[in-house]
């Protein structure tokens, strides 16, 4: 019944709407709209800011990310717990939610629990609600973009939207091998990695949540994380 109602609204105006558009374009109102013969070419030279094989792309990513207001650390995989602990020091964080889909968790969860943190896991019962009350998250991320210093994540059955959004402190684990040169390298991979179908929610994160709405004064931490700390994993 609900389906019917929405379907009918759409059907109600669709034909007239499309007829107006076609009329405006001087196209026939019969049949499907003709497919354009050509589309504008997108020369890479106009877009590419960092060459794909740039050996300095990791350091460039770090420099840009820091400019964007993220705190960046480098660590070896084996020292991950220590690096996460460094992020948490003096933060007042008590509860942490883990959401790792690629980077192996290792002993991180047990280590954090042993140090007195209340640790939960994305995928636990009611996690979508409890993440709202959680102080920090530790997530991984699909790609780092060296052109802007941004992070790219997407949702799937193992990875949430809220774990990168509703916590005041977001700790991100980014394998250095996941840093690609440019957005134009990353976006085609999103489609490829996800098997052709674009994930339901892809987000490019370019730093902590912020606003400059009040007389252009910069305020960080409005609705999203106030702090984004990234651990670049070098091996």
Partner 1 sequence: MSQTSPSADAASDTRPRRLALPVFHPNFLAEAHTAAADANLHAALDNSVTKKDYGRREALAQLPDADGLRELAGKIKSHTLDHLDYYLELLEKNVRAAGGQVYFALDNAQANAIVIDIARRTGSRLVVKSKSMVSEETELNDALIAAGIEPLETDLGEFILQVDHDHPTHLVMPVIHKRAAEIGRIFEKYFKVPFTEDPQALAEMARVYLRKRFNEADMGISGVNFAIAETGSIVLCTNEGNGRMCTSRPRIHVAIMGMEKTIPAWDDLPVFLKLLARSASGQALTQYTSIITGPRRPGEQDGPDEFHLIIMDNGRSRILAGEYRDTLRCIRCGACLNACPIYRKVGGKSYGSVYPGPIGALLTPLFNGLEAHKHLPMASSLCGACFEACPVKINIPELLISMRKDLVESGIISGPERLVFRIWSWTLAHGWSYRAGQMMQRLLLRLLKKPDGWITRLPGQPGEWTKVRDFPAPAKKDFRSQYATYRKSATQRP
- For residues 117-156, which are near partner 1 according to CB under 8 A? 122-123, 127-128, 131-132, 147-150, 155-156
By CB under 8 A, name the one of 76, 115, 198, 234 that touches partner 1: 198
Shortest approach of partner 1 to residue 75 CB, angstroms?
Answer: 25
Shortest approach of partner 1 to residue 206 CB, angstroms?
Answer: 4
By CB under 8 A, name the one of 30, 116, 214, 235 that touches partner 1: 214
Question: Applying CB under 8 A, does 45 fall inside the site for partner 1?
Answer: yes
Comparing CB distances to partner 1, the nearer of 160 and 175 is 160
Question: Applying CB under 8 A, does 195 fall inside the site for partner 1?
Answer: no
The Cα 177–Cα 205 span in angstroms is 18
How far from chain centre, in Å, is Cα 42?
A: 25
C-alpha closest to that of 171 among 63, 95, 67, 57: 95
C-alpha closest to that of 140 among 179, 162, 107, 173: 173
CA-based torsion, 61, 63, 69, 75: positive or negative: positive
Segment lying near partner 1 (by CB under 8 A), choices 5-13, 55-63, 75-83, 106-114: 5-13
Shortest approach of partner 1 to residue 219 CB, angstroms?
Answer: 4
Comparing CB distances to partner 1, the nearer of 40 and 55 is 40
Question: Applying CB under 8 A, does 79 fall inside the site for partner 1?
Answer: no
The Cα 140–Cα 102 span in angstroms is 7
- For residues 81-100, which are near partner 1 according to CB under 8 A? none
Would you list the DSSP string of 111-142? HHHHTT-EEEETTSTTHHHHGGG-SEEEEE-S
The Cα 137–Cα 82 span in angstroms is 16
By CB under 8 A, name the one of 98, 136, 174, 183 that touches partner 1: 183
Question: Applying CB under 8 A, does 101 fall inside the site for partner 1?
Answer: no
What is the token pair recorded at 161? 């939207």
């Amino acid at each position: 019944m609900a389906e019917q109602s929405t379907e009918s609204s759409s059907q109600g105006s669709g034909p007239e709407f499309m007829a107006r558009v076609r009329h405006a374009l001087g196209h026939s109102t019969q049949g499907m709209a003709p497919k354009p013969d050509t589309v504008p070419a997108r020369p890479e030279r106009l877009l590419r800011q960092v060459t794909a094989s740039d050996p300095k792309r990791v350091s460039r990513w770090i420099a840009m990310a820091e400019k964007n207001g993220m705190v960046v650390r480098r660590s070896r995989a084996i020292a991950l717990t220590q690096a996460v602990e460094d992020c948490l020091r003096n933060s007042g964080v008590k509860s942490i939610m883990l959401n790792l889909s690629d980077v192996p968790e290792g002993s991180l969860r047990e280590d954090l629990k042993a140090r007195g943190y209340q640790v939960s896991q994305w995928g636990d019962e009611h996690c979508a609600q409890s993440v709202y009350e959680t102080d920090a998250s530790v997530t991984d991320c699909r790609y780092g973009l060296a052109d802007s210093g941004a992070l790219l994540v997407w949702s799937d059955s193992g990875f949430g939207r809220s774990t990168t959004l509703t916590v005041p402190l977001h700790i991100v684990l980014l394998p250095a091998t996941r840093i690609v040169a440019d957005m134009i390298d990353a976006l085609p991979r999103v489609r490829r990695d996800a098997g052709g179908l674009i994930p339901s929610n892809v987000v490019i994160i370019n730093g902590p949540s912020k606003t400059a709405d009040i007389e252009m004064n910069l305020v960080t931490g409005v609705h999203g994380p106030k702090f984004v700390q990234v651990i670049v994993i070098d091996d």
